[in-house]
Amino acid sequence: MKILLLGGYGVFGGRLTELLLDIEDLEVVICGRNQKKAEEFCKTHSGNATLTPLGLDRAEIGAQLPIVQPDVVIDASGPFQAYGSEKYATIEACLSAKVNYLDFADAADFVFGVSKFDEQAKAAGIFVISGVSSFPVLTASVLRELSKSMEIHRVTGGIAPSPYAGVGLNVMRAVVGYAGSPITLFRDGKRHQAIGLAETLRYTISVPGKLPLRNTHFSLVDVPDLQVLPPEHPTMQSIWMGPAQSQRFCIEC
Ligand SMILES: NC(=O)c1ccc[n+]([C@@H]2O[C@H](COP(=O)([O-])OP(=O)(O)OC[C@H]3O[C@@H](n4cnc5c(N)ncnc54)[C@H](OP(=O)(O)O)[C@@H]3O)[C@@H](O)[C@H]2O)c1
């Protein structure tokens, strides 16, 4: 299998590559706008998989697909909130070239809109899957499991990353981009607008049998969970999602 990975030397693309390195018969084309960074990444990472550097701007992907001929394109570049009027250009290029597509999108509107490509993807015989990352996949998995034994009415979710987890520039660009702006969520059974990062709550994560973590401050973010999960659980009236500052950031502040 050959994967073309946009953002291949970024924090998340790089982590994905590290996890794929032990697979034989796999080639990962490590892409980003800086050829030197792609080459450096490939030099410093080795395993059973083959890594190939490629200086490539996402905007040029249509021209590269017939040359590289990947089986799958993964977009781990972002920030997906800032893709603008051509926001689905990579998906459209993959549909024309009949190449499978996945992304790590964390922008609610972006992920919610991808279902419009379902029929075209099926007709082309490919997968087009958006939001294949912590938000909304972890929440979706937990809710699917819980819904086997209960009706879900209200969801308040948070994610508190380990202080050892890297945070990429594009994650920061995404979050800063909508801070103070209205974002769409479901509240009391209706679509509702709330202000990104301005709504907060405090929660103490306390795993039974372990010392509780320090009381943590969570802030509302614009993640796909807010829009893609309510239709999956018709009894759900409200949803709120927020990441927390990691312990390391608290100490540094
Ligand atoms: N859904 C989730 O739960 C979740 C979780 C984590 C991350 N994400 C999203 O994943 C994205 C990446 O996060 P990250 O932490 O890995 O960010 P990052 O470390 O800043 O990495 C971004 C990578 O994309 C490349 N890039 C940027 N613009 C590009 C373009 N136009 N064409 C090609 N490559 C481009 C960058 O390299 P150059 O600038 O050199 O081109 C860099 O390698 C973000 O949008 C983030 O919000 C989602």
CA distance 163 to 59: 34
So what's the pLDDT on residue 251?
40
Note whether 53 and 80 are within 8 A (CB).
no
Provide the residue ranges of all domains of the chain, joining segments of one domain with +: 2-129, 134-252
Taking the centre of ligand 1 as the mean of its atom positions, its distance from the CA of residue 134, in whole angstroms, is 15
The phi, psi pair for 180, rounded to 5°, reads 80, 0
The phi, psi pair for 160, rounded to 5°, reads -120, 95
Taking the centre of ligand 1 as the mean of its atom positions, its distance from the CA of residue 24, in whole angstroms, is 26
159 pLDDT higher than 90: no
CA distance 69 to 2: 8
Q: What is the mean pLDDT of the chain?
A: 93
Tens of pLDDT along 3-46? Answer: 999 999 999 999 999 999 999 999 999 999 999 999 999 999 99
Note whether 183 and 193 are within 8 A (CB).
yes
CA-closest residue to ligand 1 atom 21 = 10
With tokens 């879900």, the residue in question is 152
The phi, psi pair for 117, rounded to 5°, reads -90, 0
Question: The pTM is what?
Answer: 0.92
To test the ligand 1 pocket, which listed residue (15, 17, 31, 33) has its Cβ within 8 A of the most ligand atoms?
33
For the Cβ of 243 lying below 6 angstroms from any atom of ligand 1, the answer is no
Tens of pLDDT along 43-86? Answer: 999 999 999 999 999 999 999 999 999 999 999 999 999 999 99
The phi, psi pair for 101, rounded to 5°, reads -140, 135
For the Cβ of 14 lying below 6 angstroms from any atom of ligand 1, the answer is no
Q: Which two tokens stand for residue 123?
A: 């007709």
> Which superfamily is assigned to 2-129 in CATH?
NAD(P)-binding Rossmann-like Domain (3.40.50.720)
What mean pLDDT is predicted for residues 141-170? 90
